[in-house]
Amino acid sequence: MTGIDPKTSHDINEAVTKKQGRYMEAMIQGSITEAESGNLLILAAGNKELFDDCQSVFCAIAKRSCYLGDIGSAIKMNLILNTMKAVSVGGLAEAMALGTRSGLLKESMMDMLKITSLNCPLLLEKGTAIVDNKFQKDHTLKHLQKDLNLSINWSDMLQTPCPVSASVNEVFKDAKRLGYGDYDISSIYLRSRDF
């Protein structure tokens, strides 16, 4: 239930099954707010029987659990989703910093966001945090950056260039260096605003 790379998960599976154990990845997709509201998602892969046996546990902590197949599938899906989240929030923060520097009000930008096709829960939530200057821990920047880094390393192994993700990772690393690692991912705005 922790962020690792697909190869490490395969190695763990091999070690566990060699000792007659059962292994399953069960990645948690969601934030503190989603946990408190019971809206987490479990992405699982590996031993299907173990997945079925764990349903009562998953139901206690998540709104939904999805079985994705062979070992590595859940980790890969989690990395993909977190990469999309990082790129989206990075773009939102950069655009709002640009707008702020140009004299636009953050509130006006959010009003326009709400009436366009960009109106989605993630951007609305993180945009509202930027407008309100409330960057409390919800989905910490350092944890998303760790997953983004795992995703980039994985893309290197697959020889699949991911220049946008790599650029966003550098922005997140810089924000961590500036002391925003323990804040919510929306705090990436502060790095963009003050750059």
> Does the residue 81 lie in any domain?
yes
Residues 114 and 162 in one domain: yes
For residue 185, what are the domain limits?
76-194
Predicted pLDDT of residue 188: 94
Which one of 45, 74, 103 terminates a domain? 74
CATH number at residue 97: 1.10.1040.10
> Does the residue 151 lie in any domain?
yes
Whether 195 shows a pLDDT value over 90: the answer reads no
Residues 138 and 53 in one domain: no
Whether 193 shows a pLDDT value over 90: the answer reads no
Residues 44 and 80 in one domain: no
What is the average pLDDT score of the chain? 94
**What would the pLDDT profile of 69-83 be if each residue is shown by its tens digit?**
999 999 999 999 999
Number of structural domains found in the chain: 2
Against a cut of 0.85, is the pTM above it?
yes
CB atoms within 10 A of CB 92: 24
Predicted pLDDT of residue 31: 85
Is the C-alpha dihedral spanning 91, 143, 149, 70 positive or negative?
negative
Structure tokens given for 90: 């990075």
Residues 146 and 62 in one domain: no
Query: 64-67 and 24-29 as β-strands: parallel, antiparallel, unpaired?
Result: unpaired
Residues 63 and 80 in one domain: no
Enumerate the H helices of 19-72 as residue ranges: 32-36, 48-53, 55-61
Q: Which residue is associated with the tokens 């991911």?
A: 162
Structure tokens given for 122: 């993630």
What's the rounded mean pLDDT across residues 151-163?
95
> Does the residue 95 lie in any domain?
yes
Look up residue 66 and give its DSSP letter.
E
Residues 67 and 99 in one domain: no
**What would the pLDDT profile of 26-58 be if each residue is shown by its tens digit?**
999 988 888 888 889 999 999 999 999 999 999
Residues 93 and 170 in one domain: yes
> Does the residue 111 lie in any domain?
yes
Residues 96 and 64 in one domain: no
> Does the residue 1 lie in any domain?
no
